[in-house]
Chain A
Amino acid sequence: MAQKKGSLKLRQSLIGYSFIAPNFLGFAIFILFPVIFTIILSVMNWDGFNAMTFAGFANFRAIFRDRVFKSAFWLTLLYVVFTVALTLLASLALACVLNRKIKGRDVFRSAIFFPYVASMIAIGAVWKQLFESNYGPINMALRAIGISNPPGWFASTDWAIWGVIVVAIWKFMGYYMLIYLAGLQDIPVQLYEAATLDGATGWQKFRKITLPMLTPSTFFVFMMLTINSFKSFDLIYALTMGGPGTSTTLLANYIYNQTFVYWDYGKSAAASIILFIIVLGVTIVQFRGEKKFTDYL
């Protein structure tokens, strides 16, 4: 009997492995292996050509002393907090509104999604002109509503990061709206019908049905948003190149500079490990939260 149970378990495990095998093989070779190699690099000295030497924690000590790294660290936190919170709210609200049967829904959806598909070079050029401090339409509009001294945006060390955040929300809200839209399709209509019979208001239905049923989507959106914001690189590269000064140099830009400007792989790998540890921490906390929620469902 016990033996039979054991072989059944083995069979189940084999079936499980067979499902993940095709993807896992490719993943292990082309992604996991290079990532592990990177972790090794973080305790090594390497410029890509000469032989590697062991560096211990010297790379980590070097980046902790680096003023640019420290500023990149705090800027990244600021950028992540605001981008994640505002993009999440915007994408959820948009998905709920654009899930209704309203006229021109496809047009609205495509319009909101469009920023995500536009090429970075074009986006960089467009927004630089829109945010231009003297004649740009944004500041002209701000002056028209009575703000006599509008911010200098990408020309100002204090405001550049906020300009980047605005563009980030504009670019990504459509992408995450899509995930929420897909999630909304999973909610059975019967739940809403029952709630309506019980006399629930629209807001009550949203809080007691939509939000809890969307938990797996929210978890995914929150995680991907957090991770992608921590990794944010392209947008800043296209908009400000990390400037003026280092006022928009985020961690990913710092890592890129260490790799391709200073050719210091050890320091770049060490900075990536720090980034990795932060994101992994957030991920684990999130997973705990998800477990609680799905148990409750």
Chain B
Amino acid sequence: MMIEKRSPVKTVLLYIVLALLTVITLLPLLWMVSASFKLSSEVFSFPIKWIPETWHWENYVKIWQKINLATYTMNSFKLSIIITLIQLLTSSFAAYGFSKCRFPGRNVLFLAYVATIAIPWQVYMLPQYVMMQKMHLIDTHISIILLQSFTAFGVFLLRQFYITIPDELLEAARIDGLSEYGTFARIVLPLTKPAMATLTIMSFVTVWNDYMGPMIYFNSDRLKTIQLGIQLFVGQYSAEYGLIMATSVMAIIPVLVVFLAFQRFFVEGIASSGLKG
């Protein structure tokens, strides 16, 4: 959207609404941060004390000692980065095929992709598990990498962005002698940086926050991820909520860094050159 002159009253109102919304959205985060400095026995007491009576900084030391949080963090990074890279590479390729190439069976194949999005994962989790068992991949990182790298989601997302690129632009590139692969790499990829940034953020967050997948496939402690680590504080009879919240707060930081780094691609005007102009 372009820069418009607005009245100062409107601007102030806008900021008030935004600030209010931000506070409401962040209230649960504040609660988490505050709870992360409390003893587990204090976490659920009423009335809520937003500022802890005594600050239990040791919660943030304990979480590294009580469980192998360093290993879990490394594993979470490893899985999130590898899966995100494979997704970006193969999804962008496939999305170009589905939006800009013509071949028999294209629509049927695409419908198959979209249709699988509609099936809850809980449903085909079992056939997948049996398959991984036959391949002897249970209790390896490879199992989750193989299962989560080829989702239909990435292809579908990028396709939605590629179809907004006018065919005339690609036609011009082909006439100038670029091959289909060259057109993809030199025209389509640079024009869809915001879409790639979106997929990067979403894929990273999904893998980072996944709980069910690692829970089913990783038994060895050295393979576990942060989300499994958080669950370790939930005991059979009680849960150490102070430590759960401290670990949860720690687990959010990397994702927010990724988000901040990539949301910079959503800057107005990037696409204004060369498109539909």
Do A and B come from the same complex? yes
Interfacial residues, chain A to chain B (CB-CB below 8 A):
12-20, 22-27, 30-35, 37-38, 41, 48, 96-97, 99-102, 106-123, 125-127, 129-130, 132, 134-137, 170, 174-175, 178-179, 181-193, 196, 202, 210, 216-217, 219-220, 223-224, 227, 230-231, 233-234, 252, 255-256, 259, 265, 268-269, 272, 275-276, 279-280, 283, 294
B108 at the binding interface (Cβ < 8 Å): no
Partner of A31, one of B21, B151, B194: B151
Q: Smallest distance from the beta carbon of B179 to chain A beta carbons, Å?
A: 9
B101 touches A119 (CB 8 A): no
B54 located at the interface, meaning its Cβ lies under 8 Å from any Cβ of chain A in the complex: no
The answer to whether B126 and A189 touch across the interface, beta carbons within 8 angstroms, is no
- Residues of chain B contacted by A185 (CB below 8 angstroms): 194, 265-268, 270-271
A12-B103 contact given A108-B22, A181-B194, CB 8 Å threshold: yes
Which residues from A are CB-within-8-Å of B248?
118-119, 121-122
| Interface segment out of the listed B55-63, B66-74, B112-120 | B112-120
| Known interface pairs A31-B116, A178-B202, A220-B157; A122-B106 also in contact (CB < 8 Å) | no
Least CB distance from B130 to A in Å reads: 9
The answer to whether A129 and B44 touch across the interface, beta carbons within 8 angstroms, is yes
Majority secondary structure of chain A interface residues (helix, strand, loop or mixed): helix
- With A30-B150, A255-B123, A280-B115 known as contacts, the answer to whether A186 contacts B275 (CB < 8 A) is yes
Q: Which residue of A lies closest to B98 (CB)?
A: A20
CB of A124 to closest CB in B, whole Å: 10
Residues of chain B within 8 A (CB-CB) of A170 are 25, 28
**Inter-chain contact A115/B120, CB cutoff 8 Å:** no
Q: Which residue of A lies closest to B147 (CB)?
A: A30
Contact assessment for A189 and B124 in the assembled complex, using a CB-CB cutoff below 8 Å: no
Q: How far is the CA of A20 from the CA of B4 in the complex (A)?
A: 43
Q: Which of B32, B112, B184, B259 contacts A118 (CB 8 A)?
A: B32
Question: Contacts of A187 on B, CB cut-off 8 Å?
Answer: 271
Closest CB of chain A to B237's CB: distance in Å? 17
